[in-house]
Amino acid sequence: SRLTMSESDDDKPLKSSKKEPKPEEDDDDVPLKKAKSSKKENVQSQVKEENAPTAAKESKKKKKTKRKRGDDDDDDDDDDEEDFDTRKKKAPAKKEKSSKSSSKSAKTDGKGQPKKPKKEVKVEPVYEWWKDEQPLAQGKKWRFLEHNGVIFPPNYEPHGVKMKYDGQIISLTPEQEAIATMYAAMSRTDYAGKDVFKKNFWKEFSEKLGKNHAIKDLENCDFQPIVDHLDAEREKKKALTKEEKLKIKQAKEKTEAPYVTVVLDSHLEKNGNFRVEPAGLFRGRGEHPKMGQVKGVIQPEDITMNCSEDACPPRCSLPGHAWQSLVHKDEQTWLAFYKDTINGEFKYVFLSAGSSLKGQSDREKFEKARELKKHVARIRQRITQGLKSSGLEMQQNTALWLIDNLAIRAGNEKDTNEEADTVGCCSLRVEHITLGTDEEGPTIYFNFLGKDSIEYKNLVKLRPKDEEKAKEGEENPCVSFVREGEEKNFRRVVENMRSLTSNSKKPSDDVFDQLNTSSLNTYLKDLMPGLTAKVFRTYNASFTLDQELYKLEDHPEKSSFLRNDATQLKFYNDANYQVAILCNHSRAVSKTFDSQVEKMDEKIKGLHEELADLKKKKKSADNKEQMKKKIANLEERISKQETQKQIKLKLAGVALSTSKVNYLDPRITVAWCKRFGNFPLNKVFNKSLITKFKWAIDEADEDWRF
């Protein structure tokens, strides 16, 4: 569905935007007061009742006054955009179409073919906190919080399928069977081949088996019967009719409904992760020393609940059980937490990404990055100075240069007995760095495992004078050129790195032996209040997007880009790609990738043959005009296929979504869409992002810049 964007003439700075009556707020106050006075009575149902008709009212209002883009032919029907932008209904109806988007309307009218109507997109209603005028006291996150706690996975049901050992059929107790089944479930993953995984699993499994058990080792275990059973179960589930599946889904929705929403102050919010993690084998990333360990069952006794004092506390759904404790911490955003059984890590239940609590802190994050923008020139001057000094100051500023220029993470210390051995800036070791030179000057090659054990391989060098070579490097994701103006600093950084990785150090020694993240952040606090290392990542990601996107402003092909959604989208994605490369956001390449590309090649080849054929026929054809049309058509299909293939190759191992979700100020995207031909936002933001970034959609007009 295409969600239209208003011309934003009605977008006002945050504070003054409350121009609409907000019935839901007034309505909501009623049940809240009721709840408070009657105390300990669940107010959720009341709030819901009050909210629901309000939402309906809202949408009806909207429908009446909603403008449609001329090109919104297929999917923009009825109610799919009702929650998108409540304020656009006040926008002057004519202006948008007649001015900016005129060229676009013309174009899209043409291609508005009788497509199957797309499934309508429902955007979740969002509490519009940015229009709220009553800020909470410093540090407070809510006045009232009521929820129903968490939902537990079902107890393990023994299936009775027997595994084999040394060819013999073995009977297991339900407890033993449970963890054997966890192992069987992972038999086709990469973990199954890893020694650490097997060793850790065997330790637990053999303990559960007890002394003198018939099973003596993992080597001769045969889990295949259980694997087959799991496969069969999956098949059974798949073979259910549509109706049966729907019934199961609806039943699930019904049981989960009480947990989906919570009451926060006087409105409803979506819960994020109210399902307690089921038991299973731990799947650490990379070479995690604890992979294969059993992640135990979580009981209510492990869980701490958080709600307000005057709320009805969550009931424990498991009979005979009770929560570990109930607290009322209004300076915290979590609803519940427990500790996992692997490393004792905290597992929190939080509100969803679209909630006001998440939205507010998200906005604060981007505002802080924008604050850095104001200070960055000065801070970079300071770094330039610091690079020339020695000792701690040199280390601090060299590290900062890397963080600022390469978007490397801060790099906390890690205990490699408990976690995988990965590094960031402060924890870089000599073995991760290779210094060199090429025709342009010095180079640094980074090769280390970062967060999630994702490889970071980057040859950092000066931009070649030769345009051809520069272009080549630009297209190589493993090469990056030093930012313009930073050439001198880079040479200094290389020298510093040379001394920091000198022969007196072992490969396993720290590069920045005097640094840790907390001292580095203390140093940053002096440069700008609230500044920490991670802000540079946010800042540089968002700044890069803004810069790249606004190159469209005086792009020679601007008008043709604006006329075509596909090319304009590609322009956006190319900018997004730059950020993904900067931040080293990657994703696994599909196992069938090669065959997919092969298929594409064949298709392109087929089209070329078809084209040659047509051209031949054209010579002897009666209707030359018609043939010409056909040829042009085919040529377009070929070029479309070819760009598709290029995009596919380029994005094979690159994830664009991570930066979109976490690093890119959504207002950049919103403003760009509004500015450039009123580009449909839903082509770049999916439903979740539109919900998550509703605040930004409301806030940013076409002139907004990061």
Q: Which residues are catalytic?
A: 663
Burial zone of 264 (CB within 10 Å; 0-12 exposed, 13-18 middle, 19+ buried): buried
Which residues inside 308-327 make contact with DNA, applying CB under 7 A?
A: none
d(CA 580, CA 588): 14
Whole-number Cα distances in Å, 578 to 455, 480, 582, 650: 18, 11, 6, 11
Pick the piece of the chain touching DNA (CB under 7 A) from 25-33, 47-55, 61-69, 680-688. 680-688
Pick the piece of the chain touching DNA (CB under 7 A) from 392-400, 463-471, 529-537, 543-551. 529-537
Least separation in angstroms between residue 518's CB and DNA is 6
Least separation in angstroms between residue 580's CB and DNA is 8
**75 C-beta neighbours (distance < 10 Å), count:** 18
Of these, 35, 535, 607, 668, which contacts DNA (CB under 7 A)?
535
Least separation in angstroms between residue 438's CB and DNA is 28
299 binds DNA (CB under 7 A): no
Of these, 104, 409, 492, 674, which contacts DNA (CB under 7 A)?
409
- What's the distance, CA 50 to chain centroid? 33
CB 334 within 8 A of CB 150: no
d(CA 159, CA 219): 23
Helix, strand and coil content of the chain, in percent to the nearest 5, comes to 50, 10, 40
β-strands 433-438, 441-449: how paired? antiparallel
d(CA 411, CA 342): 22
454 binds DNA (CB under 7 A): yes
CB 706 within 8 A of CB 543: yes
Of these, 596, 627, 638, 705, which contacts DNA (CB under 7 A)?
596
Residue (439 or 594) nearer to DNA, CB = 594
Residue (87 or 358) nearer to DNA, CB = 358
285 binds DNA (CB under 7 A): yes
Least separation in angstroms between residue 462's CB and DNA is 27
289 binds DNA (CB under 7 A): no
The edge-to-edge listing of strands for the beta sheet with 145-146 is 145-146, 261-264, 267-270
- What's the distance, CA 320 to chain centroid? 39
658 binds DNA (CB under 7 A): yes
Which residues inside 238-277 make contact with DNA, applying CB under 7 A?
A: 249, 273, 275, 277
Which residues inside 560-589 make contact with DNA, applying CB under 7 A?
A: 583-588
Residue (595 or 633) nearer to DNA, CB = 595
d(CA 169, CA 32): 62
Take residue 535 and report the two structure tokens written for it.
Answer: 């802000």
Which residues inside 484-513 make contact with DNA, applying CB under 7 A?
A: none
Take residue 464 and report the two structure tokens written for it.
Answer: 């070649």
Residue (321 or 599) nearer to DNA, CB = 599
Of these, 299, 532, 564, 567, which contacts DNA (CB under 7 A)?
532
Residue (550 or 663) nearer to DNA, CB = 663
Q: Quote the DSSP letter at residue 271.
A: B
Which residues inside 87-116 make contact with DNA, applying CB under 7 A?
A: 115-116
End-to-end CA distance of the chain: 28
Which residues inside 418-437 make contact with DNA, applying CB under 7 A?
A: 419-420, 422, 424
d(CA 544, CA 314): 45
Which residues inside 631-650 make contact with DNA, applying CB under 7 A?
A: 648
Q: Quote the DSSP letter at residue 186.
A: T
The edge-to-edge listing of strands for the beta sheet with 168-170 is 168-170, 163-165, 221-222
CB 374 within 8 A of CB 535: no
Which residues inside 2-41 make contact with DNA, applying CB under 7 A?
A: none
**How many residues make contact with DNA (CB under 7 A)?**
84
Residue (342 or 634) nearer to DNA, CB = 342
Whole-number Cα distances in Å, 376 to 35, 161, 575: 49, 64, 22
* Phi-psi sector, 618: left (phi>0), alpha (psi -120 to 50), beta: alpha
Least separation in angstroms between residue 644's CB and DNA is 7
Least separation in angstroms between residue 491's CB and DNA is 26
Residue (94 or 119) nearer to DNA, CB = 119
Of these, 362, 510, 565, 698, which contacts DNA (CB under 7 A)?
362
Task: Provide CB contacts within 8 A for 51, sequence distance 6+.
Answer: 24, 27, 28, 267, 268
54 binds DNA (CB under 7 A): no
533 binds DNA (CB under 7 A): yes
Pick the piece of the chain touching DNA (CB under 7 A) from 41-49, 216-224, 284-292, 462-470. 284-292
Residue 628: which H helix or E strand, with range?
helix 624-650
CB 473 within 8 A of CB 479: yes
Least separation in angstroms between residue 396's CB and DNA is 13
Which residues inside 331-360 make contact with DNA, applying CB under 7 A?
A: 331-334, 337, 340, 342, 344-348, 350, 358
Task: Provide CB contacts within 8 A for 404, sequence distance 6+.
Answer: 380, 383, 536, 540
Question: Which of 400, 359, 363, 395 shows the shortest CA–CA distance to 383?
Answer: 400
Pick the piece of the chain touching DNA (CB under 7 A) from 102-110, 379-387, 525-533, 613-621. 525-533
Which residues inside 131-190 make contact with DNA, applying CB under 7 A?
A: 141, 189-190
553 binds DNA (CB under 7 A): no
Residue (147 or 358) nearer to DNA, CB = 358
365 binds DNA (CB under 7 A): yes
Least separation in angstroms between residue 216's CB and DNA is 29
d(CA 693, CA 665): 9
Least separation in angstroms between residue 272's CB and DNA is 7
Residue (342 or 638) nearer to DNA, CB = 342
